[in-house]
């Protein structure tokens, strides 16, 4: 397996590492449904990174709301299955809330000295005693009492305080630890954690007094004061900067963003493919899918329907001129409609390019490829006479639309398209044949386009598409 070979290389080079939290759910990490949270020795940092890079991993960068010192993110893809793996790498144990990790727990050496091997998977994991101690600290630091509890007879309603998986993880660790060894450990390192453990054990078996919990959290945080990374105004400024960055949060690669056009005739499966790769990459990266086809009079954005007033006005005037039998007026409105389509495509292209410059991976669907402009009815290209005033404006707009960094052509046969879109009229069939012929000509041209044969089934097509995208982002 791809992921197993990486950990085997870690072992062969003697790299000090361990999976230090949520080992109860390690299966989900190997199935690409959850991150790998790895603690890596600083001296082994370069060797560790070289192994990941040799396996095609890419370093992920983010806006100021996400990164922290001593932490890095790597994303990798299994080329045989197309699954993504996220390695959240820690070179020190830094804990805290989601956007405020401000406590460094300096026990990395002790953790590495007590590492054990997982019974089912080829990975080193933290000893359960240390994992349980860190889980207790994480629970008290992350709990948002003011927002997350219901006061009812001065007790917490259990299901509203912590995420559902926390109780399961706590109980699993509590069953696996050596209680005597655990008590000795936390008494030596963090005496306050002893009473914290008793508080949580009481909570997970019953309800707990709200004031008792708040008091214990205050004691634990007071003991952690010496381990704060930042204090005073500096900490407040850093915390506020992260909060400000949240609305514009973005995650991408060091190489920057990328614009990708997926080209194909109707029935080639381009919409299905783009939707699948969009969902695939959006798991850990910032992705934008822009549709450059004809805009509609009613569009849905963010779950709400919006009217396109420009198209509505053009359509009403066209109907009015038709009723008045004013042919030149009807022709003018049709031409204005095609010009408006060109304008919206250009604006969406500019938006996509801007997002790619910010670090997004941008997918263009129905991109107006230059090679199709000379068709009788171009696929998403200019439709007006280039010698007319409006035609010159339309051509100027399309000429401003530059070629994306990656162009992927989905190749499909005419018979396959007809099988997918049965019941089409002869005119539609001829139009589809012309489009397929235009796509076929691209294969013989001298260009850098990627041609993907879609005749091998959805899964094989999707895997090849993922590999092409991954190698270019």
Tens digit of pLDDT for each residue in 398-424? 999 999 999 998 888 777 777 766 666
Q: Where are the beta strands (DSSP E) in 119-161?
A: 124-125
For Cα atoms 363, 471, 282, give the angle at the middle one, nearest 5 degrees.
45
**Mean pLDDT per 10-residue section of the chain, whose length is 473 residues:** 94 96 94 95 96 95 81 95 96 89 92 95 95 89 58 48 75 88 86 79 68 80 86 84 80 92 84 92 94 76 69 91 91 94 94 95 91 71 90 93 93 74 70 75 78 87 94 92
pLDDT in tens, 284-317: 999 999 999 888 765 665 556 667 888 889 999 9
Which helix (DSSP H) or strand (DSSP E) does residue 283 occupy?
A: none
Give the pLDDT score at 320. 92
DSSP 3-state of 189: helix
| Distance (Å) of CA 116 to CA 39, 120, 128, 171, 238 | 13, 12, 9, 20, 36
- 190 Cβ contact list (under 8 Å, min separation 6): 133, 137, 220, 223, 224
Cα 159 to Cα 198: distance, rounded to the nearest angstrom: 19
Q: How many CB atoms lie within 10 A of CB 296?
A: 10
Give the pLDDT score at 436. 76
Q: CA 181: distance to chain centroid?
A: 41
Nearest alpha carbon to residue 129 among 87, 76, 188:
188
Burial of 202 (0-12, 13-18, 19+ CB in 10 A): middle
Cα 291 to Cα 129: distance, rounded to the nearest angstrom: 52
Cα 226 to Cα 81: distance, rounded to the nearest angstrom: 47
Can you spell out the DSSP letters for 49-72? HHHHHHTT-EEEEE-TTS--TTEE
Ramachandran quadrant class, 359 (left: phi over 0; alpha: psi -120 to 50; beta: rest) = left
């Amino acid at each position: 397996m791809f992921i197993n070979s990486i950990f085997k290389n870690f072992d062969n080079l003697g790299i000090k590492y361990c999976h230090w939290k949520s080992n109860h759910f390690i299966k989900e990490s190997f199935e690409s449904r959850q991150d790998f949270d790895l603690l890596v020795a600083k001296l082994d940092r370069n060797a560790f990174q070289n192994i990941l890079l040799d396996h095609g991993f890419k370093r992920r960068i983010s806006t100021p709301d996400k990164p922290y010192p001593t932490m890095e993110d790597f994303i990798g893809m299994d080329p045989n299955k197309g699954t993504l793996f996220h390695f959240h790498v820690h070179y020190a144990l830094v804990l805290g809330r989601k956007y405020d990790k401000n406590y460094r727990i300096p026990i990395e050496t002790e953790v590495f000295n007590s590492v054990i091997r997982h019974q089912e998977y080829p990975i080193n994991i933290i000893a359960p005693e240390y994992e349980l101690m860190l889980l207790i600290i994480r629970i008290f630091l992350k709990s948002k009492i003011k927002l997350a509890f219901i006061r009812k007879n001065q007790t917490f309603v259990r299901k509203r305080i912590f995420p559902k998986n926390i109780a399961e993880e706590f109980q699993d660790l509590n069953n696996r630890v050596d209680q005597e060894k655990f008590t000795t450990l936390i008494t030596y390192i963090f005496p306050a954690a002893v009473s914290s453990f008793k508080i949580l054990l009481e909570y997970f078996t019953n309800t707990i007094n709200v004031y008792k919990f708040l008091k214990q959290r205050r004691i634990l945080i007071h003991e952690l004061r010496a381990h704060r990374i930042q204090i005073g105004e500096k900490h407040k400024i850093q915390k506020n900067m992260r909060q400000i960055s949240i609305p514009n949060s973005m995650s991408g690669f060091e190489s920057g963003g990328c614009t990708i056009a997926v080209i194909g005739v109707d029935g080639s499966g381009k919409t299905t493919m783009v939707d699948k790769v969009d969902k695939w990459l959006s798991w850990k990266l910032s992705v934008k899918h822009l549709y450059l086809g004809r805009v509609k009079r009613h569009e849905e954005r963010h779950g709400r329907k919006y009217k396109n007033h420009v198209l509505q006005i053009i359509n009403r005037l066209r109907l009015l001129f038709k009723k008045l039998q004013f042919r030149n007026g009807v022709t003018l409105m049709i031409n204005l409609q095609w010009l408006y389509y060109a304008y919206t495509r250009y604006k969406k292209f500019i938006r996509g390019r801007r997002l790619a410059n910010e670090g997004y991976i941008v997918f263009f669907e129905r991109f107006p490829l230059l090679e199709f402009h000379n068709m009788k009815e171009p696929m998403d290209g200019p439709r007006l006479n280039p010698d007319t005033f409006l035609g010159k404006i339309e051509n100027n707009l399309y000429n401003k639309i530059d070629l994306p960094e990656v162009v992927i052509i989905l190749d499909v046969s005419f018979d396959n398209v007809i099988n997918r879109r049965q019941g089409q009229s002869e005119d539609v069939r001829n139009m589809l044949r012309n489009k397929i012929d235009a796509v076929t000509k691209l294969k013989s041209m001298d260009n850098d386009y990627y041609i993907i044969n879609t005749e091998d089934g959805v899964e094989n097509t999707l895997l090849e598409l993922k590999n092409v995208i991954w190698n270019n982002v």
